[in-house]
């Protein structure tokens, strides 16, 4: 067995010398390339390499991955193949740790080989990532075995003994060696002319890809054939080449990785006729959504993507150029590393819980709106914005079942529930109005907006939402918002004042009618009632949702249980428009308006930081609406102990 080391990409060679009579010596070997793009030493300080032939352990060593500079193991012994072990499966396991390999280390996995690297999840182990592969020799061939320590598999500690992690999902440890390529030195040589340049092939022309199908994580590189185009008069995006490369930004952009063209571990091209439309591997798609197939939150998340068409796609057989990889790992091209005490932790923080009741006009007043499927689709996309993922959302079509006697809703058409679940039900309600399955109420039927508002306020002021600090009511309609049906001559402004809930009115469809007391209420109490008339200017609809986002979230984020924010913590998110990571630093009483403060254990953005975040959300939402596609999520993360 031998270990080749080229910069930070390690090749683990397991050789078999086979004699076949007069033909002489022929070589049979695996060269296992151990690669990573994670931060050293923030995320990775030590690796352990194990080799088993059959069920017998023949190698077990642990190594520091830096010593002033990034480094990985250089040599291992040799493993002869004889009649006693020829034909047995060989298993290679690489485990990565955030603990230093020191003489006084308490990590059992560094002290002896009885404690297997499978026990990554224990606190004492401080194991972060595990990669295993089991295969059999292909006689007289030297095959390359990629062993990437991808960030998508960091802290994925629940894989079973016969499994390994690939792209964030547990999969069988066995592979078919016939699918491996024959080894060539340039597959591990980051100094070769064939190495992959991140700067040239991604950064130079990288753009945020367009979402084609959010559920499948299907994207199109901007400017490519078949990609969505901006409506006039926006300029067309120039095509930058016929290739395709994709980079993923994890945890608010604190970690980035260039993905390989690989259906199981990176991305793939589902339609060869559209070579610049790509789909993420299933596990990476989970990380876009933030949950696994069972709906459980993942330890890490993809915050953004970048695509470029300048170069041909990187594969697992093409290493990143040495200087650029050093910069990814350590922040400098020389690969110089400063020792760091403690463990760097990055975790997602969620917007503080909020609640929104949507009142939707289900009468013929909205006939023009329901006939315009483009507008209804735009509304559906707005309500599907991931910015509402921490919100409880419900909908009531009015005037149906609005009682002026009780001022409560017997039921909501879409019950209060997490917004991401409610959106499909809301889309179904709108679709039924569009198709005529649910008939529109005649114009003679009183809209009873005042009674509907009182019922919505009663819902939000009830015990179920007593602890919610942010609540709102959104009215979607066209006209006839008067208070003469349930509250006699009491103006709607007085109804809103009594309810004490922020109220938003978005006028949809066509027409200019202003028999609408919400207009007067918005002028009288502008801090409580905000009205947006999109009947002639559809951009006002996007403004409405941007304002709701701002008001209901108030840039307030909860810290998950078991996590704390210290004076050095950094909050970050990825800006897809500027293609950069935005970092927000702590500020004492918001003396730095671009920072954040801690409010009862929660993170609260200061005014300038909040305005910047809302601006990013608005730009992203407007772009998605202009393209008729889904908006991408912009999750927020906090990092502690990361010097």
Q: What domains can be seen in the chain, in order of their start residue?
A: 2-187 (no CATH), 198-313 (no CATH), 353-553 (3.40.50.410), 557-640 (no CATH)
CB 516, CB 475: distance < 8 Å = no
Rounded distance between C-alpha atoms, residue 19 and residue 380, angstroms = 69
pLDDT value at residue 515: 61
492-521: buried (b, 16+ CB within 10 Å) or exposed (e) per residue? bbbbbeebebbbbbbbbbeeeeeebbbbbb
What sign does the CA torsion over 240, 241, 247, 248 have?
positive
Nearest CA to 394 out of 480, 441, 479, 452 is that of: 452
Rounded distance between C-alpha atoms, residue 316 and residue 261, angstroms = 8
Q: Name every residue whose Cβ is closer than 8 Å to that of residue 434 and which is 6 or more positions away in sequence.
A: 370, 371, 373, 376
> Is 60 in a helix, a strand, or coil?
strand
CB 585, CB 570: distance < 8 Å = yes
pLDDT value at residue 2: 39
What are the tokens at 204? 């130079």
Rounded distance between C-alpha atoms, residue 359 and residue 398, angstroms = 7
CB 276, CB 221: distance < 8 Å = yes
pLDDT value at residue 455: 93
Q: What's the number of CA atoms in the CB half-sphere (13 Å) around residue 9?
A: 31
pLDDT value at residue 540: 67
Q: How many CB atoms lie within 10 A of CB 375?
A: 18
Rounded distance between C-alpha atoms, residue 275 and residue 597, angstroms = 46
Rounded distance between C-alpha atoms, residue 411 and residue 285, angstroms = 36
For 238, counting Cβ atoms within 10 Å of its Cβ (0-12 exposed, 13-18 middle, 19+ buried), the class is exposed
pLDDT value at residue 18: 34
Write the Ramachandran bin of 87: left for phi over 0, alpha for psi from -120 to 50, otherwise beta: left
Residue 274: what are its φ and ψ, rounded to 5°? Answer: -125, 75
The residue whose two tokens read 């224990």 is: 122
Query: Angle, nearest 10°, between helix axes 607-627 and 539-553?
Result: 140
Q: Using alpha carbons only, what angle is made at residue 222 by residues 289 and 583, rounded to the nearest 5 degrees? A: 55
Rounded distance between C-alpha atoms, residue 475 and residue 481, angstroms = 10
Rounded distance between C-alpha atoms, residue 140 and residue 157, angstroms = 36
445-456: buried (b, 16+ CB within 10 Å) or exposed (e) per residue? bbbbbbbbbbbb
Q: How many CB atoms lie within 10 A of CB 89?
A: 15
Enumerate residue ranges in the chain where pLDDT < 50.
1-10, 15-24, 73-78, 121-124
Rounded distance between C-alpha atoms, residue 11 and residue 191, angstroms = 15
Query: Angle, nearest 10°, between helix axes 492-499 and 449-460?
Result: 10
What are the tokens at 150? 């991808």
The residue whose two tokens read 């390339």 is: 33
Strand duo 602-605 + 556-558: pairing: antiparallel
Rounded distance between C-alpha atoms, residue 579 and residue 360, angstroms = 37
pLDDT value at residue 199: 96
Rounded distance between C-alpha atoms, residue 423 and residue 395, angstroms = 10
* CA 503 to chain CA mean position, Å: 31
pLDDT value at residue 173: 93
Rounded distance between C-alpha atoms, residue 394 and residue 423, angstroms = 9
Rounded distance between C-alpha atoms, residue 414 and residue 394, angstroms = 5
Q: Name every residue whose Cβ is closer than 8 Å to that of residue 483 and which is 6 or more positions away in sequence.
A: 449, 450, 489, 490, 491, 492, 495, 517
């Amino acid at each position: 067995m031998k270990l080749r080391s080229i910069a930070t990409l390690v090749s683990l060679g397991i050789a078999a010398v086979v004699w076949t009579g007069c033909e002489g010596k022929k070589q049979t070997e695996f060269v296992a390339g151990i690669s990573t793009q994670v931060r050293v030493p923030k995320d990775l300080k030590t690796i352990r390499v194990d080799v088993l032939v059959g069920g017998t352990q023949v190698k077990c060593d642990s190594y520091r991955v830096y010593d002033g500079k990034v480094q990985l193991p250089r040599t291992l012994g040799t493993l002869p193949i004889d009649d006693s072990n020829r034909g047995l499966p060989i298993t290679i396991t690489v485990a990565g740790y955030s603990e230093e390999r020191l003489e006084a280390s308490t990590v059992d996995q560094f002290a002896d080989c009885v404690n297997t690297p499978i026990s990554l999840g224990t606190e004492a182990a401080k194991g972060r990532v595990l990669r295993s592969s089991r295969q059999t020799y292909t006689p007289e061939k030297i095959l390359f075995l990629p062993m990437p320590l991808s960030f998508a598999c960091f802290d994925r500690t629940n894989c079973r003994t016969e499994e390994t992690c690939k792209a964030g999902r547990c999969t069988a440890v066995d592979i078919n060696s016939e699918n491996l390529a024959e080894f060539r030195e340039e597959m591990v040589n980051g100094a070769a002319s064939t190495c992959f340049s991140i700067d040239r092939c991604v950064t130079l022309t990288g753009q945020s890809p367009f979402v084609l199908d959010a559920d499948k994580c299907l994207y199109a590189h901007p400017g490519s054939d078949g990609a969505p185009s901006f409506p006039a008069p926006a300029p067309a995006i120039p095509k930058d080449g016929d290739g395709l490369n994709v980079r993923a930004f994890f945890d608010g952009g604190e970690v980035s990785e260039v993905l390989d063209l690989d259906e199981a571990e990176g991305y793939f091209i589902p339609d060869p006729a559209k070579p610049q439309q790509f789909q993420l591997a299933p596990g990476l798609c989970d990380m876009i959504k933030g949950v696994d197939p069972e709906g459980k939150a993942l330890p890490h998340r993809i915050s953004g993507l970048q695509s470029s068409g300048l170069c041909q796609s990187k594969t697992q057989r093409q290493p990143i150029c040495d200087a650029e990889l050093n910069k990814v790992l350590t922040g400098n091209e020389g690969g110089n590393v400063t020792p760091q005490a403690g463990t760097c932790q990055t975790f997602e923080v969620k917007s503080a819980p909020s609640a929104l009741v949507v009142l939707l006009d289900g009468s013929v007043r909205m006939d023009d709106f329901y006939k315009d499927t483009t507008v209804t689709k735009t509304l559906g996309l707005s309500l599907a914005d991931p910015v509402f993922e921490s919100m409880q959302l419900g909908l009531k079509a009015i005037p149906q079942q609005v009682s002026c006697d009780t001022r409560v809703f017997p039921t909501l058409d879409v019950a209060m529930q997490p917004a991401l679940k409610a959106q499909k039900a809301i889309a179904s309600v709108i679709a039924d109005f569009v198709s005529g399955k649910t008939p529109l109420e005649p114009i003679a039927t009183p809209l009873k907006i005042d009674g509907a508002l009182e019922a919505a306020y009663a819902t939000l002021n009830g015990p179920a939402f007593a602890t919610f600090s942010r609540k709102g009511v959104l009215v979607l309609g066209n006209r006839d918002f008067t208070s003469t049906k349930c509250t006699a001559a009491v103006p709607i402004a007085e109804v809103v004042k009594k309810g004490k809930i922020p109220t938003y009115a978005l006028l949809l469809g066509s027409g200019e009618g202003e028999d609408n007391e919400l207009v007067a209420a918005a002028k009288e109490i502008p801090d409580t009632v905000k009205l947006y008339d999109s009947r002639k200017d559809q951009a006002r609809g996007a403004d409405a949702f941007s304002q709701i986002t701002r008001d209901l979230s108030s840039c307030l984020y909860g810290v998950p249980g078991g996590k704390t924010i210290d004076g050095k913590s950094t909050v970050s998110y990825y800006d897809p428009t500027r293609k950069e990571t935005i970092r927000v630093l702590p500020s004492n009483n918001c003396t730095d308006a671009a920072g954040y403060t801690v409010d009862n254990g929660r993170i609260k953005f200061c005014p300038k930081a909040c305005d910047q975040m809302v601006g990013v959300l608005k730009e992203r939402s407007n772009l998605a609406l202009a393209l008729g596609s889904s908006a991408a999520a912009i999750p927020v993360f906090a990092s502690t102990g990361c010097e």
